[in-house]
């Protein structure tokens, strides 16, 4: 079974989110082959939870606050996401790190909050274009993983990781499946320092329907995190079918 996680970012408004969710609902997916989760904007989260109730399709938050409750204007906690029915939350997406200035400390605190709330965090890591040019990919990933996971109590808890090279996101220039497979193998070895369990590692960054099956066919790639190709039914359905028929 491979994971397909759809990060709808701020692409869709409330109505568009519900329409796309209902289009997905009208399809059946083989739960043995695909674990599908949708990460809509916060305002659409509880409506999507209702739409997907009693189906295998899960809903997640795109980020969360690190505090559980209180005087944090504009924030949405992991606890609130859990209460409305989310299963997952993305933590440390590069758009949060680089556009909204989230630090490694913030990412760590959010991970702790997500785990404490009973959500499954999807920790996003990835090197920038500059890192890549300077051949610092492993250095950047090691640093992000260490900051996020060192000393974190993962016993009895689930964690997932998404490898999302910043240069590949939304660029139409993905990290190709063979290269992604290699670096996922390296990430999985790194993760052994933090947990004995196998932590699923998803690839994200310009995944389109035509390549989706090639990613999930790789042993080290446990699934994909899809942005742009997941916000239109016409592109998302073929992608899902490609993963399913792998
Ligand atoms: P993309 O986004 O598929 O549009 O590159 C992926 C992501 O940011 O999670």
Task: Tell me the pLDDT tens digit for each residue of 49-67.
Answer: 999 999 999 999 999 999 9
Cβ burial of 3 (10 Å; 0-12, 13-18, 19+) is buried
Task: Tell me the pLDDT tens digit for each residue of 210-236.
Answer: 999 999 999 999 999 999 999 999 999
Question: Does the beta carbon of 170 lie inside 6 Å of ligand 1?
Answer: yes
Cβ burial of 127 (10 Å; 0-12, 13-18, 19+) is buried
Cα 10 to averaged position of ligand 1 atoms, centre (Å): 12
Closest residue (by CA) to atom 2 of ligand 1? Answer: 227
Task: Tell me the pLDDT tens digit for each residue of 169-209.
Answer: 999 999 999 999 999 999 999 999 999 999 999 999 999 99
Task: Tell me the pLDDT tens digit for each residue of 21-47.
Answer: 999 999 999 999 999 999 999 999 999
Catalytic residue among 102, 127, 164, 190: 164
pLDDT at 119 exceeding the cut of 90: yes
CA dihedral 73, 42, 209, 132 (to 10 degrees): 10
- Structure-token match 């500059």, residue found: 130
Cβ burial of 135 (10 Å; 0-12, 13-18, 19+) is exposed
What's residue 227's pLDDT?
98
Is 3 among the residues known to form the active site?
no
Question: Does the beta carbon of 206 lie inside 6 Å of ligand 1?
Answer: yes
C-alpha separations of 11 from 15, 95, 131, 213 in Å = 12, 13, 28, 24
What's residue 124's pLDDT?
98
**DSSP, residue by residue, the chain:** -EEEEEE-TTTS-HHHHHHHHHHHHTS---TTTEEEEEE--HHHHHHHHHHTTTSS-EEEES--BSSSSSS-TT--BHHHHHHHT--EEEES-HHHHHTS---HHHHHHHHHHHHHHT-EEEEEE---HHHHHTT-HHHHHHHHHHHHHTT---TT---EEEE--GGGTTTS-PPPHHHHHHHHHHHHHHHTTT-SSPPPEEEESS--HHHHHHHHTSTT--EEEESGGGSSHHHHHHHHHHHHT-
Is 164 among the residues known to form the active site?
yes
Task: Tell me the pLDDT tens digit for each residue of 78-102.
Answer: 999 999 999 999 999 999 999 999 9
Average pLDDT over residues 130-158: 96
pLDDT at 246 exceeding the cut of 90: no
Cα 229 to averaged position of ligand 1 atoms, centre (Å): 8
**DSSP, residue by residue, 190-209:** HHTTT-SSPPPEEEESS--H
Average pLDDT over residues 69-81: 97
What's 2-244's CATH class?
alpha beta
In whole angstroms, give the CA distance from residue 246 to residue 229: 18
**Residue extents of the structural domains in the chain:** 2-244
Average pLDDT over residues 141-151: 98
Q: Answer for the pair 122, 110: CB distance below 8 angstroms, yes or no.
A: no
Average pLDDT over residues 150-166: 96
Question: Does the beta carbon of 204 lie inside 6 Å of ligand 1?
Answer: yes
Q: Kindly indicate the confidence band of residue 70, based on its pLDDT and cuts at 50, 70 and 90.
A: very high
Pocket test for ligand 1, best of 98, 202, 226 (most atoms within 8 A of CB): 226
Cα 161 to averaged position of ligand 1 atoms, centre (Å): 14
Cα 232 to averaged position of ligand 1 atoms, centre (Å): 13
Pocket test for ligand 1, best of 225, 229, 232, 235 (most atoms within 8 A of CB): 225
């Amino acid at each position: 079974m491979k994971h397909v996680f759809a990060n709808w970012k701020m692409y869709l408004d409330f109505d568009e989110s519900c329409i796309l969710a209902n289009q997905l609902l009208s399809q059946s997916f083989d739960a043995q082959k695909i674990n599908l989760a949708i990460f809509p904007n916060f305002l659409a989260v509880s409506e999507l939870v209702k739409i997907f109730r009693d189906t295998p399709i899960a809903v997640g938050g795109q980020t969360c606050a690190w505090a559980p409750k209180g005087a944090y204007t504009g924030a949405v906690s992991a606890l609130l996401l859990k209460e409305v029915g989310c299963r997952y939350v993305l933590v440390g997406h590069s758009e949060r790190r680089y556009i909204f200035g989230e630090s490694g400390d913030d990412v760590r605190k959010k991970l702790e909050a997500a785990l404490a709330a009973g959500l499954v965090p999807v920790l996003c890591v990835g090197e920038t274009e500059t890192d890549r040019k300077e051949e610092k990919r492993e250095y950047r990933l090691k640093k992000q993983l260490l900051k996020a996971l060192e000393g974190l109590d993962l016993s009895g808890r689930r964690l997932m990781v998404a490898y999302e090279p910043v240069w590949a996101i939304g660029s139409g220039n993905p990290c190709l499946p063979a290269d992604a497979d290699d670096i996922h193998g390296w990430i999985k070895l790194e993760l052994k320092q933090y947990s004995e369990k196998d932590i699923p590692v998803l690839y994200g960054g310009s995944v389109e329907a035509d390549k989706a099956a090639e990613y999930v066919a790789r042993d080290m790639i446990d699934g994909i995190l899809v942005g742009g190709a997941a916000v239109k039914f016409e592109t998302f359905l073929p992608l899902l079918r490609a993963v399913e028929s792998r």
